[in-house]
Amino acid sequence: MDKLSLLKTFCVVANEGSFTKAAEKLDTSNQLVSKYVAELEKQLDTRLFNRTTRKIHLTEAGQQCLQHANHILESVTDMESQLGLLNTEAKGVLHVSAPVSFSTLHLASALSAFQQTHPHVSINLQLNDRKIDVIDEGFDVAIRAGHLANSSLVAKKITTIKLALCASPAYLEKYGTPQHPAELKPEHYLEYSYVNYDNDKSALIAALKANAQTVTPKLTANNGEVLTNVAKQGEGYVLQPTFIAGEALKNGELVSILDDFVPQPISLYAVYPHRKLISNKLRVFIDFLSSYFESTPYWDK
């Protein structure tokens, strides 16, 4: 019996939580399923399941084995797909992590267009602004904005993201338009809680960091749309990407200030586990996003 068959049987048992259910799904006998799992345990010299009269549970070794087995089987499927041994049409479920505001404002329309082009690819989208672990949390790809740290992950640039420091006309009329970051009122800062500009040496970021050490920002939130909407009400100033603030800037609800001091544009990336072969579904997804948003995205045109 080949090891891939053992791993596939093991994964089905683990996912079904039952030898009997696994046998039904694999259209084989309960005895053969048990034999395959026992053989895999023998080859690995470890117990993969704790068995009781009613249930089975993965051991700690079994949980680690399941992660590795899933990656191995997925890699084999990817290889077969790319080499043309299976239908080369992109298909399957793509597990995607993406930022909340970018997804609601822009990614939703891109996904709709993508699935019209690739109807056999299903998207499982999870929205979160925190930095997720792509591998441990089981994602095929994560959409991230910012400056990425070195890692074992592959990052492909999707588009460029400009930043803008914004305030409403009413706020500027009341407090004046600052000409230098030192003139900003720290108590009026509307701060995005996930922002990280540790590598940015601009005068504006230096001023914001210094102010944060002495004065608590007026509002801190983990959602840029909320902060931008508060800024539109004249309650302070906010540093946001133009994919969030762009519409308000165009219609005059917000005004960009200190343009000469705003940090350099950042990038939007597709981040995925390092593999020599990536699945068709992931490859066409990344290529589609790059084409859809272009080097200069539509909200900056």
- Give 165-207 pLDDT, tens digit per residue: 999 999 999 999 999 998 999 899 999 887 666 566 677 877 7
> Could you name the CATH architecture of 92-161+266-300?
3-Layer(aba) Sandwich (3.40)
The position carrying tokens 């990407």 is: 241
**In the prediction, which pLDDT does 86 show?**
43
**In the prediction, which pLDDT does 206 show?**
77
**In the prediction, which pLDDT does 81 show?**
62
Per-residue pLDDT band for 256 (boundaries 50, 70, 90) equals: very high
Q: Tell whether the model's pLDDT for residue 110 goes beyond 60.
A: yes
**In the prediction, which pLDDT does 146 show?**
80
Q: What is the 3-state secondary structure (H, E, C) of the chain?
A: CCHHHHHHHHHHHHHHCCHHHHHHHHCCCHHHHHHHHHHHHHHHCCCCEEECCCCEEECHHHHHHHHHHHHHHHHHHHHHHHCCCCCCCCCEEEEEEECHHHHHHHHHHHHHHHHHHCCCEEEEEEECCCCCCCCCCCCCEEEEEECCCCCCEEEEEEEEECEEEEECHHHHHHHCCCCCHHHCCHHHEEEECCCCCCCCCCHHHHHHHHHHHHCCCCEEECCHHHHHHHHHCCCCEEEEEHHHHHHHHHCCCCEEECHHHCCCCEEEEEEEECCCCCCHHHHHHHHHHHHHHCCCCHHHC
**245 closest CA partner among 145, 164, 158:** 164
Count other C-beta atoms under 10 Å from residue 265's C-beta: 13
pTM: 0.68
**In the prediction, which pLDDT does 196 show?**
64
**In the prediction, which pLDDT does 1 show?**
62
Rounded-to-integer distance, Cα 235 and Cα 171, Å: 7
**In the prediction, which pLDDT does 54 show?**
72
Mean residue pLDDT of the chain comes to 87
Query: Would you identify the CATH topology of the domain 163-261?
Result: D-Maltodextrin-Binding Protein; domain 2 (3.40.190)
Lowest mean pLDDT among 26-40, 60-74, 126-140, 142-156: 142-156
Q: Tell whether the model's pLDDT for residue 227 goes beyond 90.
A: yes
**In the prediction, which pLDDT does 88 show?**
61
Asked if the domains 3-82 and 92-161+266-300 are classified in one and the same CATH topology, the answer is no
Query: Would you identify the CATH topology of the domain 3-82?
Result: Arc Repressor Mutant, subunit A (1.10.10)
Q: Where are the domains of the chain?
A: 3-82, 92-161+266-300, 163-261
Mean pLDDT of 105-134: 91
Q: Give 80 or 231, the one with higher predicted confidence.
A: 231
